[in-house]
Each structure stands twice: as structure tokens, then as C-alpha cells.
Chains A and B, each alone.
Chain A
Amino acid sequence: MANILIVDDSSTMRKIISRSLRQAGLVVDEIFEAGDGIEGLGVIASGKSIQLILSDINMPNMDGLEFVKTVRGNGNTTPIVMITTEGGEEIIAEAMSSGANDSIKKPFTPDQLQEKLGGLI
């Protein structure tokens, strides 16, 4: 069982991701939600046990790239997968060089989540 943190400024997308994880047959225990990178850092700082972080890139206040850099800068090694409309090669490369483990392009299917996340949780 894994606890997952979803960081996305769209509450609709957070619900879709939560539902899709279960539709994909991924075994999820608790899901924490954050509306931007700053809120995401707050959830992490609260000391909750988190085994996987799914983060959007294009968000207000603190975007996903800054969020990943900050998480890694704090020494946190929890796997981070970007789930984003931003499919450009250079942006994904920047996310990966910042410390993200993988990326998933929106829109996505539950099968694509299973393929990308099955080995992480």
C-alpha cells in the first residue's frame, strides 16, 4: 500500500488522477492533495508518510519545476512523476534534470498510469 501526494491546481484533475489510480489497479492507501507547489511542500513538511508524488508543472504560486527542485534540495528522495499538459522535450528534460523520475502527458488513460507507476508503488 502506498500513500500518494497529488500536486495540481485543478481540483477536477486531482479527482481524475485519484480515480484513475484505482481504475488502473494500483494499490493506493491514502491520497493527499495540494493545489500548488507551496501547498505540496507543506504536506511533505507535515511529516506524512508519502511513497510517491505526482505533480503538475503549470501551476500558480510555485510551479512543478520549482517544486521538484525544492523537494530534492531538501534531500527528499521520494519518487516524483510529473503529470502535465506540458509535453515538450525541453520542459520534460528540465523536469528530469531537476529531479523528477518520469512524466505522464495529460490527457492520459488508466493503462498509461499503470505502465508508468506500476513499478513505483
Chain B
Amino acid sequence: MSLNADISRMSNFTEEQLAGYVIDAATEVFSTMVMMEVKGEFPLKEPVSRFKCSITGMVGFAGTYSGVISIHCPVALALKITSNMLGMECDEVNDDLNDAIGEIANMLGGSVKQVLSKGGLDVKLSIPTVISGEDYTVNSLSDNDCVVVPFTIEEHTLLVGLTLKKED
């Protein structure tokens, strides 16, 4: 699951640069809004599409660039994240959990969008979409255009993926 060479050339970003933007965005979002320190690692070499006991938040880009930024998080970690964001205990998968993970995806999307579009009008962000379950699969139609960065938080690992395509 590495960035397609054509995509990299057209977008003027290398895989390392995009991974760096994802790491910077996640580090800022988690330190300021979740009060958690995250540690970004090297992008994954192989795709991850199947998730167990997890929650996934996604925000789409459309315009000069199209794509999706996604966060895949084990439910146990998502409960801690939501509790920190709300300042109150969250111990079940509910609307608060979905909303919190969706909002993180939204903030990550906003940060990455600023790199893609200085003005902001030529790239639109979608409203967040959130899915969760005991065992589910998320498939991108263009997995080879995707950068996936793992982050370690306490004993958990969450993934942030960025699928990107420059439109003609």
C-alpha cells in the first residue's frame, strides 16, 4: 500500500511527505483536542482492510484533489479517546463515540486539505462517515494510491490512511 508513482508525480508530494503531513496533523489533533500523545511510525508496506472490534471515521476530498482520509481505531482505544474529548467516561459504542471519531477524521481532513489547497475553495471536504463493528472490511478502489501511518497510543495502535488522486 504505497503511493502510486504517477500520483506522487502529479500531486508533487512524495510518500514520505504525505506520511509526514499525516503524522503532523495527527500529533497536533491528539495533543490539543484529545490530550493524548501519539507516536507516528513508518507507513505500512501492505494494505490493511479488515478490522475487528474497531471503529473507522472517514472524510472525503473532492475537487482539485479527490480522496479519503480515514482513521481506524480499536474500540477500546476509541472509548479512551472519546472520554478524553468529552471530559466524561464513555464505556460503550454510542453516538458520542461515533461523533468523536468522526470529528477527529474531520480535523485530520482539514489539516491535510490545507497542504493540498492553500486557498481552500478548490477542494471540498465531506461530512464525516463513521462505521464500526466486530468484524468488517473497508475497501478502497485505489489501494495503491494510499499512505497508511500507524500510531502507537499506550498499548494500542491506530491507523490513519490517506488515499489521494489529483484530478485533471
Q: Which residues of A contact B (CB under 8 A)?
A: 9-13, 15-16, 19, 58-60, 84-92, 94, 105-109
Q: Chain B residues near A92: list those with CB within 8 A.
A: 120
In the docked arrangement, what's the CA distance between A13 and B32, Å?
12
Partner of A87, one of B33, B106, B110, B121: B110
Q: Does B37 reach chain A (CB closer than 8 Å)?
A: no
Known: A10-B102, A12-B85. Contact between A107 and B118, CB under 8 A? Answer: no
In the docked arrangement, what's the CA distance between A109 and B33, Å?
8
In the docked arrangement, what's the CA distance between A10 and B96, Å?
9
A15 adjacent to B106 (CB under 8 Å):
no
Q: Which residue of B lies closest to A108 (CB)?
A: B32
Q: Chain B residues near A109: list those with CB within 8 A.
A: 32
Partner of B100, one of A12, A58, A108: A12
In the docked arrangement, what's the CA distance between A15 and B88, Å?
11
Q: Which residue of B lies closest to A87 (CB)?
A: B114
In the docked arrangement, what's the CA distance between A11 and B113, Å?
23
Q: Which residue of A lies closest to B120 (CB)?
A: A88
B33 adjacent to A88 (CB under 8 Å):
no
> 8 nearest interchain CB pairs?
A88-B120, A85-B110, A90-B119, A91-B120, A107-B32, A10-B103, A90-B121, A12-B100
A85 adjacent to B99 (CB under 8 Å):
no
Q: Does B117 reach chain A (CB closer than 8 Å)?
A: yes
B32 adjacent to A12 (CB under 8 Å):
no
A15 adjacent to B118 (CB under 8 Å):
no
Partner of A15, one of B87, B113, B121, B127: B87
Q: Chain B residues near A88: list those with CB within 8 A.
A: 113-114, 117-121
Q: How far is the CB of B26 from chain A (nearest CB, A)?
A: 10
